[in-house]
């Protein structure tokens, strides 16, 4: 393959280090990530593997900007330029999440009394003007955009087998599997440059796991770079291009 035909690199992590200080243990420092480096190109899925406690979830939270880094770089290449998430301001991180990064965790964080439809539709409305969240719109324009977003979400909810009776209800009352499907819908309802998945199929039955595999495969085909934690080996084998084992030195990478 010629060099100019290779997929563009979306994410580069260089020498990332992260430790936690246990203040209740006399300032004991707990190293979690040490000199982690990786890269992910458009259309690839990198699966993070390794024993529990080796820093997989910590790395994901660094990538999404929830955790700071003690050293290293997290470079996200976007059409607007390259941003080092490890050194970015809170405003820059929020802008990346609205425009370039989609995140599916194991837990749904939803505003109380907001319907499942609107929890997910909000993600689409952010895309209307990602540089000016909350910008004032006239009532007619806002209503039109909201209804269009809701219709897109209805189609996705149906695909994820979420019962229509739940769509207008707040997801805080849903079962774990139902909440996870709302969470997946929010993360995948619109394209992103970087998709971060932390156990996306937890609490799902076989039929809905298969739907999620299809959605991830389609995201890869659109050119999304994916980083994920998949304890379900069948799901991991279906979507991962490569695996990176944390907790070993140096990190070991394997290909499908």
- For residue 256, what are the CA distances in angstroms to 19, 48, 209? 31, 14, 20
| CATH architecture classification, 3-100+192-255 | 3-Layer(aba) Sandwich (3.40)
Beta bridge partners of 243: 47, 254
Q: Which residue has the tokens 């298969």?
A: 210
Model pTM score: 0.87
pLDDT at residue 241 above 70?
A: yes
Q: Which residue has the tokens 């998430």?
A: 85
Q: Of 180 and 106, which is predicted with more confidence?
A: 180
Q: Strand, coil or helix: what is 227?
A: strand
pLDDT at residue 114 above 90?
A: yes
Which whole number is the average pLDDT over 147-161?
96
If pLDDT is split at 50, 70 and 90, which confidence band does 245 have?
very high
List the end-to-end C-alpha distance of the chain, in Å, as a whole number.
Answer: 18
pLDDT at residue 24 above 50?
A: yes
Helical axes 90-99 vs 116-128, angle rounded to 10°: 100
Q: Which residue has the tokens 């009532």?
A: 139
The token pair that represents 21 in the structure block: 């200080």
Q: Say how many CA atoms lie within 13 Å of 111 toward its Cβ.
A: 7
Q: Where are the alpha helices (DSSP H) in 48-173?
A: 56-63, 90-99, 116-128, 139-159
Q: Strand, coil or helix: what is 208?
A: helix
Q: Which residue has the tokens 């440059």?
A: 193
If pLDDT is split at 50, 70 and 90, which confidence band does 26 have?
low
The confidence score (pLDDT) of residue 177 equals 92
What are the residue ranges spanned by the domains of the chain? 3-100+192-255
- Whether 240 contacts 230, CB under 8 Å: yes
- Range ranked top by mean pLDDT from 5-14, 170-179, 216-225: 216-225
Q: Of 151 and 27, which is predicted with more confidence?
A: 151
Distance (Å, whole) CA 123 – CA 121 = 5
Contacts of 173 (CB under 8 A, 6+ apart): none
pLDDT at residue 21 above 60?
A: yes
If pLDDT is split at 50, 70 and 90, which confidence band does 2 have?
very low
Task: Report how many helices (DSSP H) and strands (DSSP E) the chain contains, helices first.
Answer: 7, 10
- For residue 117, what are the CA distances in angstroms to 49, 164, 167, 251? 33, 10, 6, 41
Average of per-residue pLDDT values in the chain: 88
Q: Pick from 217, 183, 171, 164: which is nearest to 45 by CA? A: 217
């Amino acid at each position: 393959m010629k060099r100019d035909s290779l997929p563009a690199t979306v994410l580069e992590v260089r020498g990332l280090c992260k430790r936690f200080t246990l203040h209740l243990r006399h300032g004991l420092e707990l190293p979690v990530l040490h000199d982690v480096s990786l890269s992910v190109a458009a259309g690839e899925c990198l699966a993070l593997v390794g024993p529990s406690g080796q820093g997989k979830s910590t790395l994901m939270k660094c990538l999404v900007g929830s955790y700071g880094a003690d050293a290293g770089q997290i470079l996200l290449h976007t059409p607007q330029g390259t941003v080092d998430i490890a050194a970015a301001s809170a405003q820059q991180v929020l802008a990346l999440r609205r425009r370039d990064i989609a995140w599916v965790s194991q837990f749904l964080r939803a505003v109380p009394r907001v319907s499942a439809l609107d929890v997910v539709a909000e993600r689409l409305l952010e895309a209307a003007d990602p540089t000016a969240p909350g910008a004032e719109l006239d009532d007619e324009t806002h209503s039109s955009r909201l209804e269009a977003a809701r219709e897109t979400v209805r189609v996705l909810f149906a695909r994820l087998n979420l019962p229509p009776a739940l769509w207008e209800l707040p997801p805080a009352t849903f079962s774990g599997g139902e909440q996870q499907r709302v969470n997946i819908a929010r993360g995948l309802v619109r394209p992103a440059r970087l998709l971060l998945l932390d156990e996306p199929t937890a609490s799902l039955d076989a039929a809905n796991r298969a739907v999620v595999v299809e959605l991830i495969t389609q995201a890869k085909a659109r050119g999304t770079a994916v980083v994920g934690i998949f304890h379900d080996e069948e799901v991991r084998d279906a979507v991962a291009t490569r695996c990176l084992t944390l907790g070993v030195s140096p990190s070991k990478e394997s290909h499908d």
